[in-house]
């Protein structure tokens, strides 16, 4: 099973294709999801990249973290699982 990576500090013009191209240097890319604002459709400056193996995910984190893409130094880390909505808000 592969690992999902968080990619932050992205240029708003960075595309799924450019991320897929960059991360394919470290192994097979299963999926790429650039997170967009639901109202404007504009990138929110981060994405999730899923790699096919744990080894390729580790290589991507070690090599791509801090690497520049489209003029921005990327932050790459293992993605954390999102908490269910009812646990995110303590009212």
Q: How far is CA 28 from CA 20, 31, 61, in A?
A: 9, 9, 14
pLDDT in tens, 10-55: 999 999 999 999 999 999 999 999 999 999 999 999 999 999 999 9
When pLDDT is cut at 50, 70 and 90, the band that residue 91 belongs to is low
What CATH topology corresponds to 1-35+59-80? Alpha-Beta Plaits (3.30.70)
Q: Characterize the bridge pairing of strands 29-36 and 68-69.
A: unpaired
Domain ranges across the chain: 1-35+59-80
Q: Are 82 and 17 spatial neighbours (Cβ–Cβ below 8 Å)?
A: no
* Arithmetic mean of pLDDT, 78-83: 86
- How far apart are alpha carbons 58 and 16 in whole angstroms? 20
CB-neighbour burial class of residue 64 (10 A; exposed 0-12, middle 13-18, buried 19+)? buried
pTM of the model: 0.87
* Arithmetic mean of pLDDT, 1-8: 87
């Amino acid at each position: 099973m592969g690992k999902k990576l968080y990619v932050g500090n992205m240029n708003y013009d960075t595309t799924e294709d450019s991320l897929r191209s960059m991360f394919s240097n470290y192994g097979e890319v299963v999926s790429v999801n650039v997170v967009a604002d639901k109202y404007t459709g504009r990138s929110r400056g981060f994405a999730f990249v899923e790699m096919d193996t744990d080894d390729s995910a580790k290589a991507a984190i070690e090599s791509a973290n801090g690497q520049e893409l489209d003029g921005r130094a990327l932050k790459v880390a293992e993605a954390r699982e999102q908490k269910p909505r009812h646990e995110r808000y303590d009212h």
